[in-house]
Amino acid sequence: AAVAKGEVEMGNKEKARECPRMKKFEQYGCDLEESAYEMATKCADPNVENVNWFMSTAANKKLAAIEAMEAWYSEITKGHMEQKTGSQNLLLPELNIRQFARMVWDTNTQMGCGIHECSAKPKNIAWYANMDRVWANMEIQFT
């Protein structure tokens, strides 16, 4: 809600603009969880598009997932979005807010996560979906 209301302070100490089109996640995506789990079981190379690895020292998978989500969300406190007229809230690579942007993308309506152990290191993959597309969004590796 803070993002939608324009209450998020960015790394440059300015507030992000309001996001009136941002949708609330109405439900957890069990189908997305299944897809994320299938992706995680492949123990794939992390050097692919739309995958982010996060190393965690949390005591369990639930806490590690929370830690990863908080790290991705907090990207905005280190980076920022341009707020000039005509360029507000554009996602540019040099802003270093890719995972934050994917978490709050205005057309996302569902989220699902899957966890699988690869070489004794669990991987968590989160998928987001809107009405007409689904994509792999983030992958976490726990220690």
How confident is the chain (143 residues) per 10-residue block, as mean pLDDT?
87 86 75 76 62 63 76 87 74 80 74 68 56 44 41
Domain boundaries, the chain: 27-141
Are 98 and 120 within 8 A, CB to CB?
A: no
Q: What CATH number labels 27-141? A: 3.40.33.10
Strands 27-28 and 110-118: parallel
Tokens 């689904």, residue located: 134
What is residue 117's predicted lDDT score, i.e. its pLDDT? 66
pLDDT value, residue 47: 55
Q: How far apart are the first and last CA of the chain?
A: 31
C-alpha distances in Å from residue 86, one per residue of 83, 89, 90: 8, 9, 9
* pTM value > 0.85: no
- Give the pLDDT confidence score for residue 122 in this predicted structure: 55
